[in-house]
C-alpha cells in the first residue's frame, strides 16, 4: 500500500452494528417504516459527524452497506428501501438521500437483501438553504429469497443540497411496502458506514 493520499477508509462513529438486530418493521402499513428503531439499552445509529464534510473540499465520500431480511404477503407487493438523514437521532422522519426502485417481494419469506450506497460531497456548507452542503447519493440493491433468481437493481442517483455539515447528521434506513399486511416484514440486521477520504 502506497498511502499516497495520507488518508484511509475509516468506520464513522456508530458506523457499524447494531449489537443485535433492530426490531422488524412489520406493521400493517403502507407508509415508510423506520428500520433503525433499537431496543432499550441496545441502540446504536450511524451518523456523519459535524464538520466531516469540510469547506473548500470536494469529492469527499461516505460509503456503506445495509443487510437484512424481508418477507412479503402472498398478494402482489413491492418494497422500497430508502436511506435518509436527520439532524436528530432515532427520528421517524428523514430527508431521503437515495431510494431503491420498487422490488417485488410477493410471497417472499426471510429473503436476504443488501443495499450498498455511496454519498459524494460536491461542496460543503452550513445551514439548510439550497446553497449549503451538496450531496449526490447512489445505491445498488440485491435481494434473493433462495427460490428464485436474485434481483439486482440500481437506484437513480439523487441530489440533496440542504444538509447542514456543521451538525451531526444521523443516517436513517426505512422500508415502504406498496400494500399493508401483517405478513410483510423487513429487518435490518447489520450495517457499516465508512468515510473514505
For the beta carbon of residue 51, count every other beta carbon within 10 angstroms.
Answer: 13
Q: Assess contact for 95 and 162: CB atoms under 8 A.
A: yes
Q: Does some domain include residue 4?
A: no
What's the chain's average pLDDT? 88
Backbone angles phi, psi at 170, to 5 degrees: -80, 130
The pLDDT tens digits of the residues spanning 92-122 come to: 678 999 999 999 999 999 999 999 999 999 9
pLDDT at 33: 93
Laid out side by side, the sheet with 10-17 consists of 10-17, 185-195, 60-71, 111-123, 133-144, 151-163
Rounded mean pLDDT of 130-138? 88
68 vs 151: which has the higher pLDDT: 68
Q: Does some domain include residue 124?
A: yes
- Count of domains observed in the chain: 1
Q: Does some domain include residue 5?
A: no
For position 108, which CATH number holds? 2.60.120
pLDDT at 1: 41
Q: Assess contact for 78 and 33: CB atoms under 8 A.
A: no
Q: Does some domain include residue 3?
A: no
Q: Assess contact for 28 and 180: CB atoms under 8 A.
A: yes
Block residue for cell numbers 459535524: 50
> Whole-prediction pTM value?
0.91
Give the chain's length: 197
Least confident of 1-15, 43-57, 83-97, 158-172: 1-15
171: domain range? 10-195
- pLDDT at residue 197 greater than cutoff 80: no
Q: Does some domain include residue 112?
A: yes
- pLDDT at residue 150 greater than cutoff 60: yes
Amino acid at each position: 500500500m502506497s498511502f499516497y493520499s495520507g488518508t484511509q477508509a475509516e468506520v464513522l462513529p456508530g458506523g457499524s452494528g447494531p449489537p443485535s438486530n433492530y426490531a422488524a418493521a412489520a406493521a400493517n402499513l403502507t407508509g415508510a417504516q423506520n428500520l433503525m428503531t433499537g431496543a432499550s439499552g441496545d441502540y446504536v445509529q450511524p451518523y456523519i459527524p459535524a464538520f466531516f464534510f469540510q469547506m473548500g473540499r470536494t469529492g469527499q465520500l461516505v460509503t456503506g452497506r445495509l443487510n437484512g431480511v424481508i418477507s412479503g404477503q402472498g398478494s402482489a407487493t413491492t418494497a422500497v428501501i430508502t436511506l435518509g438523514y436527520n439532524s436528530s437521532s432515532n427520528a421517524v422522519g428523514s430527508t431521503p438521500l437515495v431510494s431503491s426502485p420498487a422490488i417485488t417481494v410477493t410471497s417472499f419469506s426471510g429473503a436476504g437483501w443488501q443495499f450498498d450506497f455511496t454519498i459524494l460531497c460536491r461542496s460543503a456548507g452550513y445551514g439548510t438553504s439550497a446553497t449549503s452542503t451538496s450531496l449526490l447519493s447512489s445505491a445498488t440493491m440485491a435481494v434473493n429469497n433462495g427460490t428464485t433468481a436474485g434481483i439486482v437493481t440500481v437506484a437513480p442517483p439523487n441530489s440533496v443540497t440542504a444538509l447542514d455539515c456543521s451538525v451531526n447528521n444521523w443516517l436513517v434506513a426505512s422500508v415502504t411496502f406498496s400494500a399493508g399486511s401483517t405478513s410483510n416484514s423487513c429487518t435490518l440486521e447489520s450495517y457499516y458506514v465508512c468515510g473514505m477520504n
